[in-house]
Structure 1
């Protein structure tokens, strides 16, 4: 109950700030801030949704329904953009596509132009640029969910449609897509939640979204009431996305559980095989390979020029590893506590309170980091004041240290270990626990000697995901970090804001390397499913 309350508290405080703020704030926001920010946010989500749905569904069908040289590599390579945070891709492309950057300089040399005044590509700092970057980074959410659905579709359904005279295109449109629609909606909702949480890419590209508006309202005007009101508008969009995801999953229970013959991929040869490989490689190149190659090149140039890594960057790396390790250990412990309490409650109970707490705790992952940070400001300051009165502590204990950041990370990511461990517990037969209890072992001893050894894969996977997500988290870190405290993400954000891209390349590459770990885990799982 304490963990669930900790997750819900920032949302309740946020709603209270928004409702108690001066009504003149609402009038000002409604006239000057919300219309443009809301419009930009909705257009961004619409564009990103279209790109992610097209790329994710198309690439999933390509590697599932067709067999061609390079397909086995493309199957896991299409997951690689998940390793690169959106703000890092924006950071890389801003330098690559700059009017005097390498891409446009090369094009002008080929076309015979001398200066950017004679020829330049459209500015990447636009809504269209943000849609392009976010879409090519976030499409793996749709790809992963849709590919699993395609692999589980029965070949007999597709063969029946072909027997009735439907063409391959009609089979895809009338049979395959309707069956995969729940998976597409689930993956799309996750991608859109990530797009809504983005602050770095949107601000780098000059798109005034609701997330950027919350951050600038608080940092530049120190107006907590107005920031809370904008954040409340974001929560309305989040509720719609969650309802959309629930709507997409409502009919999944009707899927057949009997073993079905999967469809056999169609073998492609010659020009068709080359075209399929090239088409599938485009998302990987644009979403991962090109920005990663840029970061590697800039990192080597920077290290050769300076002769090593700066002391400030090493300090940021140390801070990042300390925060990620602490938050991971505490989040996994809280997730284990929630999942174990839910398991221990009798199934016959009319209302399973621990299970309800798990559901409430999972809401934290859906709340953007900016909204979470704004909602935590007041509880953290109130706790500091109470601790100061009780123990005579003169300063800020939570807000003035990394404790506030760790609390925010736990609230945001506790859903990952809770869900993973709960799923792992369901795969452990109750007979093992019953046998342990009959032999005289206590409940805690059973957890320690029976369940924890069997839960090692789930614990390791969830800890890895929390660790990497904590390293990449930018919005909450920007708002809650102590003074003169940097992580790799905030260091990169500051260097990009100053336009010194070569300085931030080392930090960006370190985050990308860490992000590859969960992607490799997902790829190995996907390959086992494919085999």
Structure 2
């Protein structure tokens, strides 16, 4: 009887031979997709090594490159400190203490995810600039002139740090909150029994144990900071993203733009490598038997008000106040072309986001399922390549896509003209195909993460059962996995859709002629200081972004 389980272990080794060729074919397709996704980065690398751009690069290195490096470093440092303070502080308050409004703050602190940083920059500039309502009211109330008082300049490096910190702190908040909850409550209780105060328990126990999650959230915020274009461009802050745009359009030097893009990639790699190296050999496993979170400590009325104020400040600054200002601008000024023109912009945005979301979900499903059915080094590498795009700023991807695709366009036009005597023009870059490709490369990681999570919840026993019934991997995917993955696929599509709706740099660089979106319309009007008109498109972007954020908030509230 003890030998009977042995035959059960053999089918996974023998049965795949019937579906083996299909599995290998799926792995080959996954590798081809990975090469297609890696093409922009390889294009940037190849173009940056072009020796013919040495003169422009020398000019940039001697003039603006130091400013790019200085501003980018200080921007990243400021945002890292800002998101750490806002995200970790608010997460600790809602998980460790009981005070009035805690249940509301627990989910509402995620809402700033729906507010793009560049939209926040527009509304705060309108509020805080010299001719804005705040300074105008101060001058009217106290009879001040221009030289009688000092007011901080919002369109500055500090202003950009503030905007990005308020927009990106939810990344740290969500991961830190989860880490604080999942750590065994016994550890905190033991620390208290040893005489540690709540503050000492936080610094010596909870914070070190939550370090990987917090570092991951800060790294995400920093990658978004390096990828930001709308905020720094509107504030006239010279960084690598604005430098790439200017090198491409002002100087007309693609190789110089590629070299700046490669330097920006070095910043991204440095951020990820620094986060990994800082861990050293430390391990953060929770080996305690108890998994219940530590009981929340009730606060007195005064301290409870301070805790509620600590949670309300980032929520008000990152969502409530800019949302109210945006609504006021829309109602009082708004876009006079709200009718047919606005409908066209919205249709362009929805079309682009829908196509990118559909393609991203399809490719994510292919990569994730290939890695599940063909456990080889090639499929693992293809899967990792699919996750790289999120670390690439939109301007880098735009440069990497436009260089080879433009050459392909010229080759296709020449071939068609030689064969039929007709010039079709720019087939790929003249349509939204290249832009969709760039958006898929940029945001495939979001879809891939959701699909991976969905597949991980499906036990491999179901794969073995499908093979034992003679189903190929493709049939098993269609009949077994897809019905179970509907929720994950919908989530993946929704995430990509919202990200593409907010995407500005790649859309601004790669959009075909007469193809504006809500994001480009808001940026163009804001750049012309027509903030009231820009508010209509910006409000539409925020409204669309609220849908998935509300779903996420409901999940947080239930948990």
The answer to whether TM tops 0.5 is yes
Tell whether 2:547 aligns with 1:511.
no
Once the two structures are TM-superposed, the CA of residue 23 in structure 1 deviates from its matched residue by 2.3
Once the two structures are TM-superposed, the CA of residue 385 in structure 1 deviates from its matched residue by 2.4
Q: 1:78 aligns with which of 109, 117, 121?
A: 109
Question: Closer, same or farther in 2 for the Cα pair 1:457/1:252, shift >3 Å?
Answer: farther
Tell whether 2:115 aligns with 1:104.
no
Report the counterpart of residue 279 of structure 1 in structure 2. 310
- Within a 5 Å distance, the mapping from 1:34-49 to structure 2 comes to 34-49=65-80
Report the counterpart of residue 331 of structure 1 in structure 2. 360
Report the counterpart of residue 53 of structure 1 in structure 2. 84
Give the conservation status (yes or no) of the 8 Å contact 1:182–1:248: no
1:257 and 1:448 map into 2 onto residues whose CA distance is: 41
Give the conservation status (yes or no) of the 8 Å contact 2:186–2:288: no
Once the two structures are TM-superposed, the CA of residue 46 in structure 1 deviates from its matched residue by 0.3
Once the two structures are TM-superposed, the CA of residue 130 in structure 1 deviates from its matched residue by 0.8
Q: 2:229 aligns with which of 196, 199, 202?
A: 199
Report the counterpart of residue 181 of structure 2 in structure 1. 151
2:255 and 2:366 map into 1 onto residues whose CA distance is: 35
Larger radius of gyration: 2
Tell whether 2:391 aligns with 1:366.
yes
1:416 and 1:183 map into 2 onto residues whose CA distance is: 17
1:114 and 1:220 map into 2 onto residues whose CA distance is: 42
Once the two structures are TM-superposed, the CA of residue 500 in structure 1 deviates from its matched residue by 0.5
2:552 and 2:270 map into 1 onto residues whose CA distance is: 28
Question: Closer, same or farther in 2 for the Cα pair 1:255/1:157, shift >3 Å?
Answer: closer
* 2:196 counterpart SS class: coil
Give the conservation status (yes or no) of the 8 Å contact 2:112–2:170: yes
- Within a 5 Å distance, the mapping from 1:127-526 to structure 2 comes to 127-247=157-277, 254-256=285-287, 258-302=289-333, 306=336, 309-346=338-375, 351-392=376-417, 393-526=423-556
Report the counterpart of residue 5 of structure 2 in structure 1. none
**Bigger Cα displacement from structure 2, 212-221 vs 489-498:** 212-221
1:484 and 1:341 map into 2 onto residues whose CA distance is: 39
Once the two structures are TM-superposed, the CA of residue 328 in structure 1 deviates from its matched residue by 0.7
- TM-score of the two chains, using structure 2 as the length reference: 0.90
Give the conservation status (yes or no) of the 8 Å contact 2:361–2:489: yes
2:99 and 2:208 map into 1 onto residues whose CA distance is: 26
2:284 and 2:363 map into 1 onto residues whose CA distance is: 30
2:356 and 2:445 map into 1 onto residues whose CA distance is: 13
Give the conservation status (yes or no) of the 8 Å contact 2:67–2:238: yes
Once the two structures are TM-superposed, the CA of residue 125 in structure 1 deviates from its matched residue by 1.1
- Ranges in structure 1 where 5+ consecutive residues have no aligned partner: none
Once the two structures are TM-superposed, the CA of residue 429 in structure 1 deviates from its matched residue by 1.3
2:198 and 2:515 map into 1 onto residues whose CA distance is: 57
Give the conservation status (yes or no) of the 8 Å contact 2:184–2:286: no
Report the counterpart of residue 3 of structure 2 in structure 1. none
Tell whether 2:37 aligns with 1:7.
yes
Give the conservation status (yes or no) of the 8 Å contact 2:184–2:288: no
1:527 and 1:148 map into 2 onto residues whose CA distance is: 12
Once the two structures are TM-superposed, the CA of residue 478 in structure 1 deviates from its matched residue by 0.9
Give the conservation status (yes or no) of the 8 Å contact 1:339–1:419: no
Report the counterpart of residue 26 of structure 1 in structure 2. 57
**Bigger Cα displacement from structure 2, 2-11 vs 397-406:** 2-11
- TM-score of the two chains, using structure 1 as the length reference: 0.94
Give the conservation status (yes or no) of the 8 Å contact 2:209–2:284: no
2:475 and 2:272 map into 1 onto residues whose CA distance is: 38
1:90 and 1:252 map into 2 onto residues whose CA distance is: 40
Once the two structures are TM-superposed, the CA of residue 435 in structure 1 deviates from its matched residue by 2.5
2:416 and 2:445 map into 1 onto residues whose CA distance is: 33
